[in-house]
Structure 1
Amino acid sequence: MLSWSLTFLIIAIIAAVLGFGGVAGAAAGIAKILFFVFLVLLIVSAVAGAVRGKKPM
């Protein structure tokens, strides 16, 4: 999922350089949403691992 976030971020940067404002804004918004979803899943996974008593890798 993080790779999708990075992909949309790169698309946003390229579109911004080329002057496509709407496309750049949309791609940046999608990248931001995917990044925060990934971050929440990471935190949930870490908490679940801590509750189970497993050490992080």
Structure 2
Amino acid sequence: MAYVIKAEDCVNCGACEGECPVEAISEKDDARVIDADLCTSCGACADVCPTECILEG
């Protein structure tokens, strides 16, 4: 199951985007979003998120 980012908690730091091995994370409307079709559910993004706003979808 793909990970999701709670946009209201995202501070748009970009830490998650740099960790994603499949480049499933991008910026949209001053927050990061995860493309569910690309996400492999590895959890690398969640591990580095300083606000812990990335959750398993």
- TM-score, normalising length from structure 1? 0.28
- TM-score, normalising length from structure 2? 0.28
The structure with more helix, counted as a fraction of residues: 1
The structure with more strand, counted as a fraction of residues: 2
Higher RCO (CA-CA < 8 Å; seq separation 6+): 2
Larger radius of gyration: 1
